[in-house]
Amino acid sequence: MVRDGSRSVKTPSDRTEKREKTKTSRCLPIYLRKKKKVEERFITMLIQRALSRARVPSTSRYFSSLSSIQMQTINLPKSPPFSFSSNNHGCNFLKSKPSSVSSPYSTAAFSLGKSNRKGVVPLAALLQIGGVQIATDDVVKENDPTNNVPDSIFAKLGMQLHRRENHPLGILKKTIYDYFDINFPGKFEKFDDLCPIVTVKQNFDDVLVPPDHVSRSYNDTYYVNSDTVLRCHTSAHQAELFRNGHTHFLVTGDVYRRDSIDGTHYPVFHQMEGVRVFSPEDWSGSDMDGTAYAAADLKRSLEGLAKHLFGAVEMRWVDTYFPFTNPSYELEIFFQGKWLEVLGCGVTEQAILHASGRTDIVAWAFGLGLERLAMVLFDIPDIRLFWSSDERFTSQFSEGKLGVKFKPFSKFPPCYKDMSFWINDGFTENNLCEIVRGIAGDLVEEVTLIDNFTNKKGMTSHCYRITYRSMERSLTDDEINELQEQVREAVQNKLNVVLR
């Protein structure tokens, strides 16, 4: 069963079905796969980079999938602009090069307003996350083929919705904190300000994500350069926290994934990671070995958490696969008439603990997507709403009030625009969506493949339906026509497809 990292409120089978439908479009070009020489690989990078540069969104990583990347790992030119140093939590944080820009980060500069710089949102030049200064140019590098971070994604860095007390994500985070504080008083340390710019090693290698795993592709992950990514899961911090001796911790943060566009997927979302370590004395008095003991404690603890959040619901455990745990499970609850995946978890692979210098311990870990849970707990119908600064949204939530049902202030009409084109080998839906989101921002609600055929000459045509809908106002025909025109032009120029 393919799962998508705890982030969708769609059922896993919905998601799998959509994946199947668009699988071919996610493959990298066959001719790219065949090339072997280094120069040719570099050209590949340039092409990919051009494709990826189209701003915005995208989807799921399948940590629960075994699927491999469709292309061999490319040796990218290295241009690390960062040095890493430890902060007082003992974590590596990015230190940007000294920047000449002195304007402080201001949230006002991150409004989700219409783009004005080559179709993107206005940017703050410098921001602070976890005591680290980050400049735009450290993260967005137009001419660097090893970078695929668009301005629109940079604009989300530092927003830290999970740290806003009266925001649904902040309220949910706090409720989960309460559960652990009540049941394990004084035990769990909380980290919610760790820098989301991490090394490839932290994000993938340290948690045993295989070298050819699909999640490492430029199509799925935002790379700052060949060694540095925007974390695509909070598990990226696990190994380092183990190394620094932490035994009970919760890490909450924004995570970044290139993805398709619909009501439950957004290129930035929020996760919480929980970890608990056991020493031999913990399980020695039991009749279990360390792994069985940790697994039993994990299940007990997380069932308690689900009850704390959802009340007395029916629950079930589903065996699954994650690279970082063994055994691995997903917890599902029966809620509002259907089974909902709440989180992924398992007993941490010994190799992660050993590499972190911990030999005699066992640990459990879990990861959950805050948006997917908040959407059902607060009845929030569209993931874009979390980013809304409209008072009609923000005023409905307050600290300590989990599960207050969101009252839609109105439903504005959607507007559909279809576009058809002949794709090329390098076409991916994520690249298309990034272009659309970069131009239309949060005015785009969904991008769906509605027709797909290959003619006798072997040319493949895709027709996508773009749904435009604002959550805050009615859109005018003129406005949408203009957006659609820009999308068509950008799709043609950046993706090198032939419009029909």
Per rule CB under 6 A, is residue 225 in the interface with ligand DAH? Answer: no
- The span of 160-168, 218-226, 318-326, 442-450 binding ligand DAH (CB under 6 A) equals 318-326
Phi–psi pair at 462, nearest 5 degrees:
-120, 140
154 vs 322, which CB is nearer to ligand DAH?
322
On the question of a cis peptide bond just before residue 168, with omega within 30 degrees of 0, the verdict is: no
118 vs 187, which CB is nearer to ligand DAH?
187
Residue 288 CA: distances (Å) to CA of 9, 34, 319, 327: 36, 51, 20, 15
SS3 311: coil
Query: CB count, 10 Å around CB of 133?
Result: 18
Number of residue whose CB is nearest ligand DAH: 367
Minimum distance, C-beta of residue 457 to ligand DAH, in the bound complex (Å): 41
Minimum distance, C-beta of residue 12 to ligand DAH, in the bound complex (Å): 12
139 vs 207, which CB is nearer to ligand DAH?
207
63 vs 266, which CB is nearer to ligand DAH?
63
Residue whose entry in the numeric block shows the structure tokens 């009749």: 287
Minimum distance, C-beta of residue 345 to ligand DAH, in the bound complex (Å): 5
146 vs 356, which CB is nearer to ligand DAH?
356
* Residues 6 or more apart whose Cβ sits within 8 Å of residue 390: 409, 471, 472
370 vs 385, which CB is nearer to ligand DAH?
370
Supply the DSSP symbol for 168: H
The length of the chain in residues reads 500
Minimum distance, C-beta of residue 64 to ligand DAH, in the bound complex (Å): 7
Residue type present at position 135: A
* Residues 6 or more apart whose Cβ sits within 8 Å of residue 17: none
On the question of a cis peptide bond just before residue 80, with omega within 30 degrees of 0, the verdict is: no
- The span of 47-55, 322-330, 441-449, 471-479 binding ligand DAH (CB under 6 A) equals 322-330
Minimum distance, C-beta of residue 343 to ligand DAH, in the bound complex (Å): 7
- List the structure tokens of 212: 């050819």
Per rule CB under 6 A, is residue 222 in the interface with ligand DAH? Answer: no
Per rule CB under 6 A, is residue 229 in the interface with ligand DAH? Answer: no
Q: What is the pattern of x (binds ligand DAH, CB under 6 A) and - over residues 235-274?
A: x-------------------------------------x-
- List the structure tokens of 250: 């919760």
Q: What is the pattern of x (binds ligand DAH, CB under 6 A) and - over residues 326-365?
A: ------------------xxx------------------x
Near ligand DAH by CB under 6 A: residue from 57, 367, 438, 441:
367
**Rule CB under 6 A: which of 47-86 touch ligand DAH?**
63
Q: Alpha-carbon distance 184 to 180, whole Å?
A: 5
Minimum distance, C-beta of residue 179 to ligand DAH, in the bound complex (Å): 17
Near ligand DAH by CB under 6 A: residue from 110, 218, 322, 335:
322
190 vs 488, which CB is nearer to ligand DAH?
190
Q: Applying CB under 6 A, what is the total number of residues that bind ligand DAH?
A: 15
- List the structure tokens of 407: 């009252």
Per rule CB under 6 A, is residue 6 in the interface with ligand DAH? Answer: yes
Residue pair 263/446 in contact by the 8 Å Cβ criterion: yes
Per rule CB under 6 A, is residue 325 in the interface with ligand DAH? Answer: yes
Terminal-residue alpha carbon distance, the chain:
37
**Sheet holding 338-348: strands in order across?**
189-191, 248-256, 268-278, 362-369, 338-348, 325-335, 314-322
Minimum distance, C-beta of residue 377 to ligand DAH, in the bound complex (Å): 19
Per rule CB under 6 A, is residue 233 in the interface with ligand DAH? Answer: yes
120 vs 250, which CB is nearer to ligand DAH?
250
93 vs 366, which CB is nearer to ligand DAH?
366
Residue whose entry in the numeric block shows the structure tokens 């075994």: 66
- List the structure tokens of 13: 């089978």
Q: Which string of DSSP letters, residue by residue, matches 270-310? A: EEEEEEEEE-HHHHHTSSS-HHHHHHHHHHHHHHHHHHHHH
- Element holding 495 (H helix, E strand): helix 477-495
Residue whose entry in the numeric block shows the structure tokens 């995208």: 58
Judged by the rule CB under 6 A, the positions of this chain that interact with ligand DAH are 5-6, 63, 233, 235, 273, 322, 324-325, 344-346, 365-367
